[in-house]
Amino acid sequence: MTLAAPTPLYRQLLPARFDDLPPSVRVLHERAGLHRYRGKVEVERGRGVLSRLCAWATRLPVAGRGTIEVEIDSTPHHERWAREFAGRAMRSQLWISDGLLCERLGLVTFGFRLDVVPLGAGHAIVWRVAKVRALGVPLPGCWFEGVGAREYERDRRYRFDVFATMPWIGRLVHYRGWLDVG
C-alpha cells in the first residue's frame, strides 16, 4: 500500500481553486522541503516615526531596489520563510489555524484569508487580513484593512506585491518584484 503525499499548506487552504493558479505560483507553493529562490525587488517604506516603529516590530525590509533571496522550508504543517533584502533578513513562520493562513512576523501574528481571483489572463492569490495579534493581544481588524498581498505570474515569472498601510500611520511598506522558481 502506497501512502498519499501530504498536502501542502496552500492546497489545503485553496483546494477547489489551487489548480487555477498559474504554473510558477503552484510550483512555489507545492514544493516540500528546503528551496531557495532569487529575484529582484523594489521596497518603499513610510517615513513617519510610528511607521518606522511598526515596521521594526514586524521586521519589514528597508527601502531600496535590488536582489531578493528567499528560502522556504515547507512541510504540510508549517513553512519557514527567510527573505533577504540587501543583506537584511525578514523571517516568518506560516501555518494554518481556523481556516486562515497564519504568519508570525516579529512581534505580530497575522491571520490571512486567501482567495484565488482572476487577474489579467490568469489568476492570483489574494491575501486579506482577518485577524491580528501583537504580543498575543488581539488588535482591531479595521486597523489592517490596508494590509495584504497578491501572488501572480507575468512573463512566466512568479510575482509578488505586498503592501501595508494603516490609519493614522500611513504606509509601513510596499514591496513588489519577482522570483525565478524554476
Cβ(89)–Cβ(80) below 8 Å: no
- CA–CA distance, 149 with 93 (Å, rounded to integer): 16
Q: Are strands 108-119 and 100-105 parallel, antiparallel or unpaired?
A: antiparallel
Q: What is the pLDDT of residues 114-139, one digit of tens each?
A: 999 999 889 999 999 999 999 999 99
- CA–CA distance, 94 with 166 (Å, rounded to integer): 22
Dihedral pair phi/psi, residue 54, rounded to 5°: -65, -40
Q: What is the pLDDT of residues 31-56, one digit of tens each?
A: 999 999 999 999 999 999 999 988 88
Q: What is the pLDDT of residues 4-36, one digit of tens each?
A: 667 899 999 999 899 999 999 999 999 999 999
- CA–CA distance, 139 with 18 (Å, rounded to integer): 30
Domain boundaries, the chain: 9-180
Grid cell 531596489 — which residue? 65
The 3-class secondary structure across 110-133, one letter per residue, is EEEEEEEEEECCEEEEEEEEEEEE
pTM of the shown model:
0.93
CATH topology for 9-180? Answer: Lipocalin (2.40.128)
